[in-house]
Amino acid sequence: MRLHEYQAKQVFADAGIPTPASQLAETVDEAVDAAEEIGYPVAIKAQVHVGGRGKAGGIKLVESKEEAREAAEDIIGMDLKGYHVSKVLVEEAVDFVNELYVGVTMDRNEGRPVAMVSTKGGVNIEEVAEEDPDAIAREHIDPAFGMHPFQARKVVYEAGVDREVANDVASVLTTLYQLWDDRDGADTEINPLMITADDEVIAADAVMNIDGDALFRQPEIAEMGEEAAEGDELEQKADEYGFDYVRLDGNVGIIGNGAGLVMTTLDLVDYYGGEPANFLDVGGGAKADRIANALDMVFSDDNVDSVVFNIFGGITRGDEVANGINQALEQFDEIPKPVTVRLAGTNAEEGMEILNEDLVTVEHTLEDAVQRAVEYAKEVEA
């Protein structure tokens, strides 16, 4: 479960991490009033679960009442990468001299949490990891003992953080790990962690993703999750249909049965040059109506340009899946997005025969299906 920036900052601030003065606004007038109260300059930031908000026009720095009104009018109600913006965070602008990245996540290869620090903050950390992996210092943590103070200092110094602020950055990192542990986090990060000319350390952004299976013991976070889902029609649909669903930034929609199978499909989409638009697991024993609901969800995502189905029949029967796909697609006078299907396992051959190839493209291997879906998406982009 993902928290909005304003919610994550609330959690961080309550734990003692410095954050800029800010107010949440749902109307243009509320945004202007908040800016006047905080004092200019301020940043007006769309509260949606997407990266690259600034480049997409979802974050604007303003220095007057007139600019604040104009920015709020532009951002509130806009469609940002398929998300409707209903709230903005009006936040004190930070006069910074340096930007860092700090984060905690689970390293599944090592089977332990890992704390990360980089002096290349303010940019996509995944790109940094790919282009310059040595720019990110890492320290694995034994969850039985937690993060020792020396570990926080060690990873901060290895990242090359200036000595004047190193202890404060280590303190923020220690708190971030404690939140990750106490709140059943999947990921916690600050990007950027800004350093001011006065050597103050301020969290200018905040990310906190929670293990959804642990929400029963995190009631306060669970309440935040209900609020975070408001305004996101797709995530509300996922809850209604009972799907495991995560929205991503790409344009290849992915539907599969079983988390491992869906993750494999995501990896292959990336491998063949595409960008996944979502993680959607329909679960085992999926009947025709459930498959139809899955298609309805993916078709509703404006970012999706093509769809790939990857179904391996165990409990889920290939003929049931094929009937669901046919029933869903027959409702349309024109298919909104090209659909590629790969079936394997129980009753897969029967399913292949049932599929209406006037409505879908059928491939016999997962690799061929993914490549075809990526090709379709690229054709739409062109």
Active-site residue set:
101, 189
| 52 annotated among ligand-binding-site residues | yes
User: b vs e for 21-30, b when ≥16 Cβ sit within 10 Å of the residue's Cβ?
Assistant: ebbbbeebeb
Instruction: Confirm whether residue 94 is marked as ligand binding.
Output: yes
User: According to the annotation, is 315 in a ligand binding site?
Assistant: yes
Strand, helix or coil at 251?
Answer: coil
DSSP letter assigned to residue 333: S
User: Any known ligand binding at 185?
Assistant: no
Tell me whether residue 54 is annotated as binding.
yes
99 annotated ligand-binding residue = yes
* C-alpha–C-alpha distance, residues 339 and 337, integer Å: 6
| 136 known member of a binding site | no
Q: Which residue type occupies 156?
A: V
**Does the annotation flag 63 for ligand binding?**
no
Is 209 annotated as ligand-binding?
no
SS3 78: coil
Structure tokens at 285: 């024993």
Phi, psi for 76 (deg, rounded to 5): -70, 120
CB 68 within 8 A of CB 62: yes
Residue 91 assigned as binding residue: yes
Per DSSP, 360 falls in state -
The reply, when asked if residue 257 is annotated as ligand binding, is yes
Residue 205 annotated as part of some ligand binding site:
yes
Q: Is 314 annotated as a binding residue?
A: yes
Q: Are strands 306-313 and 339-345 parallel, antiparallel or unpaired?
A: parallel
Contact between residue 311 and residue 321 where contact means Cβ atoms under 8 Å apart: yes
CB atoms within 10 A of CB 238: 21
Cα 256 to Cα 251: distance, rounded to the nearest angstrom: 16
Could you give the CA distance from residue 60 to residue 326 in angstroms, rounded to a whole number?
A: 45
Tell me how crowded residue 99 is: count the other CB atoms within 10 A of its CB: 19
**Binding-site residue set for ATP:** 45, 52-54, 91, 94, 99
The binding site for Mg(2+) comprises 191, 205
Annotated binding residues, as ranges? 45, 52-54, 91, 94, 99, 191, 205, 257, 314-316
